[in-house]
């Protein structure tokens, strides 16, 4: 069709008159869009065909008028409509009413009905909404910046266009005509209230989102890029929209919050949010019916509007509750299996829906049926992990914004400092920290009396200070995936006694291994085994190395926390510690007293093979990409681990010896500071040339027991001698001399060989 003169004919059906398209005979050359000219006026229309049309049909143009009709091709990289502003009025004044018309719903219907159609500035057309006919006039149009579609920063200057193509991402603004009596409500009635879903000025902090910028960017690229482009371009590429996203990660990291904001970002309908367990029903077939109800609106709209249907978002919280592996629940009624089948058929079955987006959230992605995770279903799997330092700054700024606005935040509060001190805190734990600091600050202004009263005189000076935050950080809020100092503080409560170069060498080797874990790109997993005789201080050295590493996640896997556990329960507890470690960027796991974890006893001998195999797998398993893990093991039975082939699972082995000479013994006693120079000289003389073998832990116990004996002997006024018998510990007997009550003076009386 090149420059043909065509005459306007009468529209054969009322339905065609509302399409805002130029209708031509189906025998005409197939085209997408045409330019219609009559003198100075020029409009572009999208074409539809109909067998009953002899001439061209354009509603609202006079019948039998003649126009020059030519082909028109859109430059879709520059002529896609970003914002279209229309003036609205009732088509017939006699049908006017005073009802409120929601412009947001009108805009949604407008985009669905006129999707992928051409519009021109000044064009008039008819729009049907709520069984009412409205006359619309295109007042103004802005083009979409092509740099946005390429992932670049958009220009702040809006480009005006005269002719444009409406796409699913366009925004529609309704303005009342001068003589119109239409009553409008909603955000779409004014330009200022509209916001582009792909605007570079999208403010995450105002939406209460912090630390998830990268995750939002990745989800937009994978799941929503196809919904931004015109549908015909996606169709030409043979592409399909992503129908499902799985958000997984530790609790409190923002999965539910992100899912809610995805709906707002796309300006889709209000998301349907359902908790997984709410789907289940005790009556037969009701659980499956609940799944069908969630998709009913999307099915109805797709049948009615087809490709122009709007996006329906369905969010499943705790999706693992209803989508477990089929066949995994022995003895069950099979309800979970049928629910999974029903969900699969709705997302990607024979009558699949193309206007849905299913978002599942879980802390346990390993429990979900594999069929649900394949491409075409929940194909975009995004880990919502613990926020980094920049993310923690954003989250803390969000939760302290109102305090800062009303001058309730102390000037000494440094958000950067708090972000550094809150390594491995989740978003929920950071919010809890702010609440705890607020409670501490408010508690200062409560009168201590028989009744709980607020001191009104000082309450006006309420401010949350740095001390409040640090106090809450130390006492109230502990991260679930962080470092709990109480776990390892008990192992080094007496400090590290550096009784020789051997101890210094162990600490230096530990620092080197820590640096290797932090800096090496080739060895994300570093493991070391500290082995030596009992009571030689292996656990204390392991705890000291882990403490000085300053890793954000430090966990001690100790047998004392698994007393009474079955083999399976013990394996699950050990695996959970390692799974938690994988969620942190830098982690350190101390596997203490390995032979006790294995239930090893020399009588028999016997051990737990199930726990052994679990440990062998976990010790060799590298952490996920981008994560680094250091493992420190301790054992007193190196020979047993050698027979179990566990030594090869560690990167290196370090021997921790006992105190084996008088020189080292004297140095240890000096470090402890419990003896005077005279007593140290006597001890040195007594142990000279003797062969010793005493662990530092046993030595500490001997000294404390001698000190206790000394205090009791000093309080006895009837003591006949300054020297009293003292029990023999290993090969050393310490006899206290109590000339001064309450003061410990002790020396070695003799060395007894075993």
Active site residue 620: yes
**Strand 22-25 with 41-50, pairing:** parallel
Instruction: Name the nearest CA neighbour of 589 among 642, 635, 634.
Output: 634
Catalytic residue of the set 89, 104, 580, 592:
592
User: Is the distance from CB of 712 to CB of 736 less than 8 angstroms?
Assistant: no
Among 279, 260, 269, 271, smallest CA distance to 319 is for: 279
Q: Per the residue annotation, which of 620, 621, 678, 752 is the catalytic one?
A: 620
**Three-class SS of residue 749?**
strand
Round to whole Å and give the CA distance between 168 and 112: 7
Distance CA 131, CA 128 (A): 6
Contact 361, 383 (CB under 8 A): no
Q: Which of 369, 483, 593, 635 is catalytic?
A: 593
Catalytic residue selected from 83, 422, 539, 733: 539
Of 360, 224, 349, 263, the C-alpha closest to 299 is 349
CA distances from 680 to 104, 313, 333, 684 (A): 88, 78, 76, 6
Of the candidates 538, 544, 570, 583, the residue annotated as catalytic is 538
Instruction: Judge contact between 266 and 381, C-beta under 8 A.
Output: no
Rounded to whole angstroms, the Cα distance separating 83 from 91 reads 23
Strands (E), 218-335: 244-248, 272-275, 312-317
DSSP 607: -
Helix, strand, coil share of the chain (percent; to 5): 40, 20, 40
**593 annotated active-site:** yes
Is 592 among the residues known to form the active site?
Answer: yes
Rounded distance between C-alpha atoms, residue 754 and residue 751, angstroms:
10
Quick check: is 303 catalytic? no
Question: What is the rounded distance in angstroms from the CA atom of residue 54 to the CA atom of residue 59?
Answer: 15
697 is catalytic: yes
Distance CA 434, CA 215 (A): 24
What are all long-range contacts of 474-480, with beta carbons under 8 Å and residues at least 24 apart? 476/432, 476/433, 476/436, 476/440, 477/425, 477/429, 477/432, 477/433, 477/436, 479/422, 479/423, 479/424, 479/425, 479/426, 479/429, 480/250, 480/251, 480/252, 480/426, 480/429, 480/580
Residues tagged active-site: 538-539, 592-593, 620, 697
């Amino acid at each position: 069709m090149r420059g043909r003169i065509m005459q306007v004919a009468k529209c054969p059906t009322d339905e065609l008159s509302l399409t805002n398209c130029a209708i031509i005979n189906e025998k005409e050359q197939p085209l997408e869009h045409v330019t219609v000219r009559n003198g100075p006026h020029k409009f572009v229309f999208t074409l539809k065909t109909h067998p009953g049309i002899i001439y061209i049909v354009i509603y609202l143009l006079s019948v039998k008028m003649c126009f020059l009709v030519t082909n028109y091709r859109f430059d879709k990289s520059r002529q896609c409509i970003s914002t279209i502003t229309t003036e609205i009025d009732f088509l017939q004044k006699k049908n006017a009413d005073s009802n409120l018309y929601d412009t947001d719903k009108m805009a949604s219907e407008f985009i669905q009905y006129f999707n992928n159609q051409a519009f021109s500035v000044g064009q008039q057309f008819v729009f049907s909404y709520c069984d009412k006919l409205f006359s619309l006039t295109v007042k103004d149009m802005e083009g979409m910046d092509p740099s946005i579609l390429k992932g670049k920063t958009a220009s702040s200057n809006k480009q005006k266009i005269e002719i444009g193509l409406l796409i699913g991402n366009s925004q529609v603004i309704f303005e009342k005509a001068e003589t119109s009596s239409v009553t409008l409500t909603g955000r779409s009635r004014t330009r200022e209230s509209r916001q582009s879903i792909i605007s570079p000025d999208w403010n995450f902090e105002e939406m209460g989102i912090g630390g998830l910028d990268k995750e939002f960017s990745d989800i937009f690229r994978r799941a929503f890029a196809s919904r931004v482009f015109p549908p015909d371009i996606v169709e030409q590429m043979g592409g399909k929209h992503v129908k499902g996203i799985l958000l997984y990660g530790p609790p409190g990291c923002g999965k539910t919050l992100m899912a809610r904001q995805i709906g707002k970002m796309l300006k889709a309908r209000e998301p349907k949010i359902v908790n997984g367990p709410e789907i289940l029903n005790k009556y037969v077939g009701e659980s499956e019916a609940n799944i069908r109800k969630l998709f009913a609106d999307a099915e109805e709209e797709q049948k009615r509007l087809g490709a122009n249907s709007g996006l329906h978002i369905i969010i499943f919280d705790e999706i693992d509750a209803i989508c477990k592996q089929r066949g995994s629940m022995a003895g069950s009624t099979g309800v979970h299996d049928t629910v999974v089948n029903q969900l699969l058929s709705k997302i990607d079955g024979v009558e699949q829906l193309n206007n849905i987006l299913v978002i599942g959230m879980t802390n346990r992605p390993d429990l979900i049926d594999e069929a649900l995770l394949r491409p075409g279903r929940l194909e975009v799997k995004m880990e919502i992990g613990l926020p980094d330092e920049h993310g923690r700054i954003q989250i803390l700024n969000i939760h302290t914004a109102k305090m800062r606005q009303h001058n309730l935040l102390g000037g000494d509060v440094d958000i950067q400092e708090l972000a550094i001190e809150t390594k491995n805190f989740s978003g929920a734990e950071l919010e809890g920290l702010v609440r705890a600091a607020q409670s501490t600050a408010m508690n200062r202004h409560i009168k201590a009396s028989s009744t709980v009263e607020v001191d009104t005189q000082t309450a006006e000076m309420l401010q949350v200070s740095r001390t409040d935050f640090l106090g809450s950080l130390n006492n109230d809020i502990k991260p679930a995936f962080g470092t709990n100092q109480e776990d390892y503080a008990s192992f080094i409560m007496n400090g590290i006694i550096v009784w020789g170069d051997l101890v210094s060498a162990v600490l230096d080797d530990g620092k080197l291994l820590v640096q290797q874990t932090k800096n090496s790109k080739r060895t994300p997993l570093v493991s070391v085994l500290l082995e030596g005789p009992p009571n030689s201080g292996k656990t204390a050295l392991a705890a000291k190395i882990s403490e000085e590493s300053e890793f954000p996640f430090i966990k001690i896997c100790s047998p004392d926390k698994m007393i009474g556990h079955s083999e399976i329960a013990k394996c699950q507890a050990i695996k959970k510690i390692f799974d938690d470690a994988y969620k942190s960027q830098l982690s350190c796991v101390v596997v203490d007293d390995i032979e006790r974890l294995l239930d090893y006893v020399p009588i028999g001998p016997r051990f737990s093979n199930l726990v052994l195999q679990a440990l062998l797998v976990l010790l060799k398993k590298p952490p996920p990409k981008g994560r680094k893990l250091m493992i420190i093991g301790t054992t007193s039975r190196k020979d047993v681990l050698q027979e179990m082939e566990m030594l090869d699972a560690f990167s290196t082995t370090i021997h921790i010896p006992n105190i084996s000479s008088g020189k080292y013994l004297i140095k240890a006693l000096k470090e402890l500071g419990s003896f005077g120079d005279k007593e140290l000289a006597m001890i040195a003389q007594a142990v000279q040339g003797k062969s010793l073998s005493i662990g530092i832990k046993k030595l500490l116990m001997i000294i404390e027991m001698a000190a206790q004996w000394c205090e009791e002997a000093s309080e006895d006024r009837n003591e006949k001698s300054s020297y009293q018998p003292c029990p023999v510990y290993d090969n050393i007997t310490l006899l206290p001399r109590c000339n001064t009550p309450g003061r410990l003076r002790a020396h070695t009386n003799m060395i007894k060989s075993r």
